[in-house]
Amino acid sequence: MILKGKTEGIRPGQFVEIAIPGLFLRRPISVSDIHGDELAIIYKVVGQGTDRMTAMQAGEELAILTGLGNGYDLSLCGNEALLIGGGVGVPPLIYAAKKLREMGKKVRVVMGFNTKDEVFGEEAFIALGCETTVCTMDGSSGIKGVVTDVIEKPAPYYYACGPLPMIKAILRTIGTNGQISMEERMGCGVGICVGCTIETKDGFKRVCKEGPVFSADRIKI
């Protein structure tokens, strides 16, 4: 979906909050790309809110909060970066790859999905000049296995986003030399309701405010 709105200063890893007519809570969705005053989002239909979004027509006006959360710091990776995405954690990495390539960085992408029917984003990364590897649990596309099966160690500095089991595997097998975007159910999206709080090595932090991106060495699993 393409949205028009305030895009200045939005960093990879940040998200928007979209008000869905008739529903109380806004829907938080990460930004997957930006072109001028247009921002792209990729989402999976998992509930009433995202289901209603699929029926929206071009030209409809929506109330959107942009530039929310703490994004990736792309200055920390040196000349090479590894992007690790799982399922719906892939979209913010597309924008991260774009900005890293604009900075002249070499980028390798490893993505994990359950089956080939869930695979997306590969063409976008390849178009950006990224070395891209797809893994599926059932082997129906790419390499059979999970992302940590194909990442050589020691791995370069990484940026990751995906489900908690994938995050735990990354921390255990690859290490903490990177940044991770944490997934958590959000209520307000701006840090008021404290509903998305997680425990870190620095105490309790709000994913929507202090996150969603955290330094991997501060995540407590």
Task: Report pLDDT for 48.
Answer: 83
Beta carbons within 8 Å of 152's beta carbon, 6+ residues apart: none
| Every domain of the chain and the residues it spans | 2-68, 74-218
- Picking from 31, 29, 40, the residue whose alpha carbon sits closest to that of residue 13 is 31
Q: Which of 158, 136, 159 is nearest to 147 (CA)?
A: 136
CA gyration radius for the chain? 17
What pLDDT is recorded for position 27?
87
Identify the CA nearest to 39 among candidates 95, 102, 101, 100: 95
Task: Quote the DSSP letter at residue 49.
Answer: H
User: For residue 70, what are its two tokens?
Assistant: 């703490």
Give residue 24's pLDDT: 83
Q: Are 14 and 26 in contact (CB under 8 A)?
A: no
Looking at residue 77, what is its pLDDT?
95
CB of 81 closer than 8 Å to CB of 12: no
What pLDDT is attached to residue 93? Answer: 98
Burial class (CB in 10 A: 0-12, 13-18, 19+), 99: middle
Give the pLDDT of residue 16.
93
Per-residue pLDDT tens digits of the chain, which is 221 residues long: 888 878 888 999 999 999 888 888 888 999 999 999 999 999 888 888 788 888 888 888 888 899 999 999 999 999 999 999 999 999 999 999 999 999 999 999 999 999 999 999 999 999 999 999 999 999 999 999 999 999 999 999 999 999 999 999 999 999 999 999 998 888 888 899 998 999 999 999 999 999 999 999 999 98
Q: How many residues does the chain have?
A: 221
On whether the CB atoms of residues 121 and 90 are closer than 8 A, the answer is yes
Q: What is the pLDDT of residue 25?
A: 83
Cα gap 75→58, rounded to integer Å = 37
- For 179-189, b/e burial (b = at least 16 CB within 10 A) is bbbbbeebebb
Tell me the CATH number of domain 2-68, given options 3.20.20.300, 3.40.50.1000, 2.40.30.10, 2.40.10.10: 2.40.30.10
For residue 114, CA distances in Å to 29, 86, 121 come to 21, 9, 15
Strand partners, 70: 212
Which CATH class name applies to 74-218?
alpha beta
